[in-house]
Amino acid sequence: PANAIPTPTAPPPDILRCASMELVVTDLAASRAFYHDVLGLVITEEDEQTVYLRSFEEFIHHNLVLRQGPVAAVAAFSYRVRSPEDLDRAVAFYTELGCRVERRPEGFSKGYGDSVRVEDPLGFPYEFFYDVKHVERLAWRYDLHIPGALVRLDHFNQVTPDVPRAIGYVEDLGFRVTEDIRDAEGTVYAAWMRRKPTVHDTAMTGGDGPRMHHVAFATHEKHNIIAICDKLGALRLSNHIERGPGRHGVSNAFYLYLRDPDGHRVEIYTQDYYTGDPDNPLVSWDVHDNQRRDWWGNPVVPSWYTEASLVLDLDGNPQPLTSRTDDSELEVTIGADGFSYTREGHEGKDHDMPSWKQGEYKLGHQL
Amino acid sequence: PANAIPTPTAPPPDILRCASMELVVTDLAASRAFYHDVLGLVITEEDEQTVYLRSFEEFIHHNLVLRQGPVAAVAAFSYRVRSPEDLDRAVAFYTELGCRVERRPEGFSKGYGDSVRVEDPLGFPYEFFYDVKHVERLAWRYDLHIPGALVRLDHFNQVTPDVPRAIGYVEDLGFRVTEDIRDAEGTVYAAWMRRKPTVHDTAMTGGDGPRMHHVAFATHEKHNIIAICDKLGALRLSNHIERGPGRHGVSNAFYLYLRDPDGHRVEIYTQDYYTGDPDNPLVSWDVHDNQRRDWWGNPVVPSWYTEASLVLDLDGNPQPLTSRTDDSELEVTIGADGFSYTREGHEGKDHDMPSWKQGEYKLGHQL
Amino acid sequence: PANAIPTPTAPPPDILRCASMELVVTDLAASRAFYHDVLGLVITEEDEQTVYLRSFEEFIHHNLVLRQGPVAAVAAFSYRVRSPEDLDRAVAFYTELGCRVERRPEGFSKGYGDSVRVEDPLGFPYEFFYDVKHVERLAWRYDLHIPGALVRLDHFNQVTPDVPRAIGYVEDLGFRVTEDIRDAEGTVYAAWMRRKPTVHDTAMTGGDGPRMHHVAFATHEKHNIIAICDKLGALRLSNHIERGPGRHGVSNAFYLYLRDPDGHRVEIYTQDYYTGDPDNPLVSWDVHDNQRRDWWGNPVVPSWYTEASLVLDLDGNPQPLTSRTDDSELEVTIGADGFSYTREGHEGKDHDMPSWKQGEYKLGHQL
Amino acid sequence: PANAIPTPTAPPPDILRCASMELVVTDLAASRAFYHDVLGLVITEEDEQTVYLRSFEEFIHHNLVLRQGPVAAVAAFSYRVRSPEDLDRAVAFYTELGCRVERRPEGFSKGYGDSVRVEDPLGFPYEFFYDVKHVERLAWRYDLHIPGALVRLDHFNQVTPDVPRAIGYVEDLGFRVTEDIRDAEGTVYAAWMRRKPTVHDTAMTGGDGPRMHHVAFATHEKHNIIAICDKLGALRLSNHIERGPGRHGVSNAFYLYLRDPDGHRVEIYTQDYYTGDPDNPLVSWDVHDNQRRDWWGNPVVPSWYTEASLVLDLDGNPQPLTSRTDDSELEVTIGADGFSYTREGHEGKDHDMPSWKQGEYKLGHQL
Ligand SMILES: [Ca+2]
Ligand SMILES: [Fe+2]
Ligand SMILES: [Fe+2]
Ligand SMILES: [Fe+2]
Ligand SMILES: [Fe+2]
């Protein structure tokens, strides 16, 4: 399309996986309590301004950085690459795209060696690193595990106005699309793309962007996710539960969405499927299929569609937002003029979408 | 109080447990498909007009009767009593209360011997039986179990206008209250009462009644309940999922509410606690506590409060409804003038009730 | 039979449930570490000599007492009764049986009021109490729960030489048999009997007695039991795992047997079935059925059959043992002359009992 | 070392993952019943001589081929490669190694296009393919899932006399070692190696070889594995359960070993960890660590060490076995002269290895 991001002639870095996110938080003690005391992420290292946390099966220094700052935002989406040479490739790739690129031999975070940060063509602060401090993999340390143990960082989710444009760029970066949400007119509402052979390392969600929609950690089993909810209830912190738990249509995973003390959204996620074959079949969902985002058809709460975190440029200032001009998923499904179905072709028949499936916006109009 | 149901001088029958419900359904094939093909209840016996089903750990003939009829309704809430003599006690107890009482030596359902049906003081069709045909307890038949195996009938839930009046009567009948929902002014919104040592054999929910709110079956584990949702999704029947899954505050059980093809509500339920000691502590919940009905604070969908099944008199005609005059739980919590809190005393502060916790009625007003 | 214990004319106390066990331990710090630090039982109260612990769903003061003493043994199997008057009944019942009976207004343990201890006709120290201090039921305190949370005391298991004789006595005490293990000649190897409507409050296992075979705590789900094993592995305490986890044939429950620092056996148990109806069907297992004790046919380790804890008389001295004269379950199944089958009638055919199912004694003979 | 297999100058094929195993079975109906009726693998296609089965999340034609034949054996360990060109690479790689190589444009199995089979330097029949028929991925078809649903082929396990020699060869083929079992003298007893980022696509177990030790399928959760055991019990097929369920030390996965009607060993496996980073830390286990193969220290049944399946050459004749000359894991651990510990340095102390942990061979000597 006309607005496509050009494909660089330089090869992309060989990305292994999403590896860490750096969150700027406005009350470090509150965020530390949420991610460590409540969710149980392990603190690898911390100082007055920063806390470095990891999941129980991780062997690199951290999967999450909490950094005290004036405005809640995301400072970096960090990917690990296969070799030190891939950092040179990242520099060349983004330089050719005309992006701002920074490289620091000592890394941008503690625990990292040489790393590269860029303001990518979509406005996101992407980071690449190979060299990293190894720490104890706590997989076997069941004496430390809690009922809701988070065992891996699974994926990022980004909000961007033009999803096909974003797909073109991340495919150039070496990602493959595994699933998407579309409509009959060809509008793409969201797409999931992977490097490691899971459903995704990141996803692009259509909306005003660049913003960070959520960061997701994996548990082993579904009961672990339920245990997180139960604990939040016991601590009278259930207001942090925004959506779920439920079963996704897209990805087939079991999920839960939380909001941290700054409103950053965290997903807890388990049991998607292997996608590592080059001909792994793309799964396309109809935006009107009421089971696409929740396989049980439970309504998505409006805030989940509308709220997301700011992202920072390399100077630490929030990136301005560009509005989505394509249709909004919320509006075409549960908004005043939208519709969804449980069984395609049964719209309006057979109790296909009873009141309890229509969601808050739809119901709101009826009151 | 002035309207109290008098305590009979005759002793009540010794009730063992809730044992079966008889549902009148308008499309027997559709209901059979729902309860047998989808939910996996085992058919003990059936004919043109009636299907008798049981759960996997049951050894009596049935826990559910589906009977073809003109209007969807509940024909009987059946309790098993300890001995044949308890049927005489039931007759005497209800006769003294001035209730209509019928007794049939051959029972009202197949598989039963002698039984007694009454129109109770609240207008509900209660049934009592002792003699029953034994069938194979399929507890060990894992070759027949499905991922969402229903293993026991757990409880009933009834809608009645005046909850304290209902409590007085069922206490006379030998039940004990285990939990309730109240407010600071003394209004009682709901109460749970038991014979067997679980949280309840039946519950009284304040509302226009007599109506049947739901019948509940138990699974062994939480993943069994999730499997039911996943299967409904796969069959494109997710519209039958009305509320949940979630964790109850009251009872501490994990739950799911479904609506059958006639709209009868079925709960799937697991993991409440032992209540068999005579001094088992009553747990009282504040109606404004947003975790009372869902420990995770997820909003209750309005239909769950407002819709329920008709019940039949002994001639098979629907009982007329009496309106609740006490405050409505829906109105005092999520209605226009109502409020709820996550942390008592934090109302309006600290993001105590973010938009995603306020529910559909509340949000509706904002649109 | 000739040796039957006579049925008293005095009615038995109305027993609610097994409620607590008092264990004498030789290293209180080690036992406290095992039951509290590792298994996570909650300490209600403790002093230099004694630790009182309870499970997460308990509201009475304790389910386990650890008392420092010179010889590892069981000082009391404690049952809760329905009313204070049942203590008088217990005194009368055991006095008529000619048993030694003690009554203490202040109870034998902290947290209890009036209680009665007896040396019962089988030689066991049984205790009865009604009055007890209430403490917080931690069912909703998911912030305190661990992955292997123990939620209830489920049952005791006693070793006694003559199982039918023991059955007669506990039936007089008001228990009902739910399952047993027999052979075609009529020998009874073990029996399970209940007051609360689960498979048992106690079981009688044939062997030299009186001894305590095990005390069992319940979890909610199977993964909780697996979590206990995983934690023991992480702490390099896997030597405490004696048998399992596995699925019982008898009771249909999922189980694990541990040995505490003194060798006292503790079972972790989940998901048996409701037995509260008076005509609950007895389940009898053939002693040669290799799935009776482990539904998966996994061999029972010999120590499980041969080792058990001493019990104390009311002076605190170990009771002498009487030898079993009936056949031993170990000998008739996996001993040199014993046999078992997977499919009755297939003995010796069709790979019915491959080497891996024959167990250590059987294999031992082949070496 | 002197006997090392030389590294070819030709690059290896780019292997994606273990993808299928072809088993020769002596009673096709019996094997079909085991893998399809009991374990629930889905039949993609079948004829008189052959059944092609897949797991619920697979999108390629099959993960298992059952072929009727005169002698139970393994005809192929099949790997999927990244591209058609990788088949040429496989031909060149093995030709340079002096191996017998066959290529068939139509594939060796139905559902495959072009494929290559070799008799590899260790004597195993390895197969490589890219082109394959796509079929429905049944991940979302929860209406078809059973309680013990097998969702992926996870790995192979091979028996070979000289583990370091095997490691050298498969590393040349592009595999990476993730874990191994060694002793202080440098003997290597087993090693796990991967292409996809799990703990392994295949493992090498020291013993007389070439033989197939087992093929492993994954479930989502631990309860799914327990459900398989429960079903086998219900069908009176528990004799097929050889070892487990348990938690592995190596891989940290939850496991179960079954034996099929021909004695082929099948593992059911869940929840190992991500290994995709190039510097993924090697985990080495001491052969005397009693938690290495079972994290709970439960004894390994001798048959698991000694029995394995024959493998076929490209003419369909069983490969002759070469004896292991290095120490045997069984002998150095639970054999007469072997020893194991729960806590290193505590051998013989502190009840470190009680009788129930010593296993059958050890106990056998004591009888
Ligand atoms: Ca309103
Ligand atoms: Fe996500
Ligand atoms: Fe309910
Ligand atoms: Fe037990
Ligand atoms: Fe394996």
Rounded distance between C-alpha atoms, residue D127 and residue D63, angstroms: 13
The domain limits of chain D are 15-306
Give me chain D's average pLDDT, please: 96
| Residue D364 pLDDT grade (very low, low, confident, very high; cuts 50, 70, 90) | low
Query: pLDDT at position A366, please?
Result: 44
- Please report which residue ranges of D13-110 form alpha helices under DSSP H: 28-32, 85-96
* Topology adopted by domain B15-306: 2,3-Dihydroxybiphenyl 1,2-Dioxygenase; domain 1 (3.10.180)
pLDDT of amino acid C2 = 74
Interchain contact, B297 vs A239, CB within 8 Å? yes
Return the number of CB contacts < 8 Å for B and D. Answer: 43
- Decide if B196 and C274 are in contact by the 8 Å CB cutoff: yes
Please say if the pLDDT value at position D35 is more than 70.
yes
Interior angle at CA D277, CA D271 and CA D280, nearest 5: 75
Question: Do A216 and A248 form a contact (C-beta atoms < 8 A)?
Answer: no
Residues of D whose CB is below 8 A from B144: 234
Per-residue pLDDT of B125-174, as tens digits, reads 999 999 999 999 999 999 999 999 999 999 999 999 999 999 999 999 99
Banded pLDDT at C337 (limits 50, 70, 90): confident
pLDDT of residue C188: 98
Mean pLDDT of D44-59: 98
- Residue range D302-348, pLDDT digits in tens: 999 999 999 999 999 999 999 999 999 999 998 777 889 999 998 87
| Strand locations in B29-99 (E) | 42-46, 50-54, 64-68, 73-81
Confidence label for D366 from pLDDT (cuts 50, 70 and 90): very low
Instruction: Report whether pLDDT(B367) > 50.
Output: no
Q: Which two tokens stand for residue A217?
A: 């950690």
Is the pLDDT at A193 greater than 90, yes or no? Answer: yes
Cβ-based contacts of C80 with chain B (< 8 Å): 277
Region D54-78 average pLDDT: 98
Write the residue in A140, A221, A234 that is nearest to C140 by C-beta: A234
Superfamily of domain A15-136+145-306: 2,3-Dihydroxybiphenyl 1,2-Dioxygenase, domain 1 (3.10.180.10)
- pLDDT at position B12 is 98
Q: Tell how far the Cα of C254 is from the centroid of ligand 4, in angstroms.
A: 10
Nearest ligand (C-alpha, residue C200)? 4
Read off the pLDDT of each residue in A144-160 and give the average, rounded to a whole number.
Answer: 98
**Could you count the other beta carbons within 10 Å of the beta carbon of residue C315?**
7
Among the partner residues D83, D139, D221, nearest to A273 by beta-carbon distance: D139
Question: In angstroms, what separates the C-alpha of C83 from chain A's closest C-alpha?
Answer: 34
- ipTM topping 0.90: yes
Q: Which positions ≥6 away from A287 have C-beta within 8 Å? A: A181, A182, A183, A187, A189, A329, A332, A333
DSSP single-letter state for residue B362: H
Q: Is residue B350 scored above 80 in pLDDT?
A: no
Q: How far is CA C350 from the centre of its chain?
A: 36
**Judging by DSSP bridges, how do beta strands D202-206 and D188-194 pair with one another?**
antiparallel
Give the pLDDT of residue A364: 60
Which chains would you list as touching A if contact means 3+ CB atom pairs under 8 Å? B, C, D
Name which of A285, A297, A300 is nearest A331 in CA terms. Answer: A300
Instruction: Report residue D367's pLDDT band, with 50, 70 and 90 as the boundaries.
Output: very low
Q: Determine the distance separating the centroid of ligand 2 and the alpha carbon of A340, expressed in angstroms.
A: 21
The pLDDT tens digits for B62-74 are 999 999 999 999 9
pLDDT of residue D360: 80
Whether the pLDDT of residue A68 is over 90: the answer is yes
Q: Which of A223, A236, A297 sits opposite B222 (nearest CB)?
A: A223
Q: What is the mean pLDDT of residues D50-62?
A: 98
* pLDDT level of residue C366 (50, 70, 90 thresholds): very low
Residue among B74, B238, B11 nearest A291 (CA): B238
Share of chain B above pLDDT 70, in %: 98
Q: Is the CB of residue A295 less than 8 Å away from at least one CB of chain D? A: yes
What does each C-alpha distance from C127 to B82, C7, C107, C112, D190 come to in angstroms?
28, 19, 10, 11, 55
Chain D residue whose CA is closest to C345:
D236
Mean pLDDT for chain B overall: 96
Mean per-residue pLDDT for D140-165? 98
Please list the alpha-helical segments (H only) found in chain A: 28-32, 85-96, 163-172, 222-234, 302-306, 329-333, 355-366
Contacts of C220 in chain B (CB under 8 A): 221, 271
Q: What sign has the CA pseudo-torsion C286, C288, C293, C294?
A: negative
Option in D298, D303, D352 nearest C241 (CB): D298
Average pLDDT over residues C28-44: 98
Residues with Cβ–ion distance below 5 A, ligand 3 = B 157, 216, 267
Predicted confidence (pLDDT) per residue in D196-255, tens digit: 999 999 999 999 999 999 999 999 999 999 999 999 999 999 999 999 999 999 999 999
Q: Which of the ligands is closest to the CA of residue C255? A: 4
Q: Say whether A147 and C143 touch across the interface (CB within 8 A).
A: no
| Neighbour subunits, C (≥3 Cβ pairs < 8 A) | A, B, D
Average pLDDT value over all residues in chain C: 96
Please report the pLDDT score of residue B348 as a whole number: 78
Q: Which helix (H) or strand (E) segment is C311 a member of?
A: strand C309-311
pLDDT at B338: 87
CA distances from C148 to A168, C57, C136, C151, C220 (A): 47, 14, 20, 9, 9
CB contact under 8 A, B234 and D143: yes
State residue D247 phi and psi, 5-degree precision: -105, 125
**Measured between beta carbons, which residues in chain C are less than 8 angstroms from residue B280?**
59
Confidence at C364, pLDDT banded by 50, 70, 90: low
The residue that leads in pLDDT, B337 or A119, is A119
Does residue C48 surpass a pLDDT of 60?
A: yes
Smallest CA–CA distance from C237 into chain D, residue: D342
Ligand nearest the Cα of residue D267 is 5
Q: How far is the CA of B333 from the centre of ligand 1 (A)?
A: 10
**Are residues C77 and C200 in contact, defined by beta-carbon separation less than 8 angstroms?**
no
Put simply, the answer to whether D17 touches A277 (Cβ < 8 Å) is yes
Nearest CA in chain A to D198: A197
Q: What is the pLDDT of residues C175-208, one digit of tens each?
A: 999 999 999 999 999 999 999 999 999 999 999 9
Residue A367 has pLDDT above 50, yes or no: no
Taking CB atoms and an 8 Å cutoff, what residues of chain C touch A223? 221, 223
Q: What are the residues whose beta carbons fall under 8 Å from the beta carbon of A294, sequence distance 6 or more?
A: A244, A246, A247, A248, A249, A300
Distance (Å) from the alpha carbon of A41 to chain C's nearest alpha carbon: 15
* C314 in contact with A, Cβ within 8 Å: no
Average pLDDT score over residue span D43-69: 98
Q: How many other CB atoms sit within 10 Å of the CB of residue C131?
A: 17
CB proximity B134 to D under 8 Å: no
Q: In sequence order, what are the beta bridge partners of B241?
A: B258
B361 alpha carbon – ligand 1 mean position (Å): 5
| Closest CA relative to residue D80, chosen from D158, D154, D171, D15 | D15
- pLDDT band at residue C36 using 50, 70 and 90 as cut-offs: very high
